[in-house]
């Protein structure tokens, strides 16, 4: 029997069954036709923020960070882990506040790391400081199970 996994589409939120034999191939969503991308934390800028976050069909966790911030660097691997664990249920993006100061100002980011959880374009949760993937999941659980 062929081993399969579910891969969530970041464009439309549909779950797609992917077989192990398809590794390395370009995969497309069966619902919307968008390229399926493996879980991971994507960089986000001012120019792409509306499409990547505010208009996303899935809840989005935005990590506001800076390269000079040690706790931000500690948080990075935890966000990668979280992204893999919650693929198809949560999208994770990073905003470098040094390169996107207008976004940091727009969302009143006063310290880093600060994470904002967006659902349907609205901030529904704020998390401050470095924490484990498990702690982040626990804090976000009500927003993930409430549906999107």
Residue 9: count of CB within 10 angstroms of its CB: 23
Residue 72 catalytic? yes
Q: 113 with 75: CB under 8 angstroms?
A: yes
Catalytic residue among 9, 29, 44, 72: 72
Distance CA 132, CA 134 (A): 5
Provide CB contacts within 8 A for 115, sequence distance 6+. Answer: 61, 62, 63, 64, 126, 127, 128, 136
Residue 9 catalytic? no
- Which residue in 91, 59, 53, 93 sits closest to 76, CA to CA? 93
Positions annotated as catalytic residues are: 69, 72
């Amino acid at each position: 029997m062929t081993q399969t996994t579910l891969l969530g589409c970041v464009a439309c939120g549909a779950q797609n069954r992917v077989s192990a034999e398809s590794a390395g191939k370009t995969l497309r969503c069966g619902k919307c036709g968008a390229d399926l991308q493996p879980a991971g934390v994507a960089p986000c800028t001012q120019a792409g923020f509306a499409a990547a976050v505010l208009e996303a069909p899935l809840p989005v966790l935005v990590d506001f960070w800076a390269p000079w911030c040690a706790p931000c660097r500690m948080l990075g691997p935890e966000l990668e882990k979280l992204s893999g664990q919650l693929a198809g249920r949560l999208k994770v993006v990073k905003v470098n506040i040094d390169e996107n100061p207008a976004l940091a100002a727009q969302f009143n980011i006063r310290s880093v790391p600060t994470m904002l959880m967006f659902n349907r374009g609205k901030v529904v949760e704020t998390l401050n400081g470095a924490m484990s993937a498990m702690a982040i999941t626990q804090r976000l659980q009500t927003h993930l199970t409430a549906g999107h």
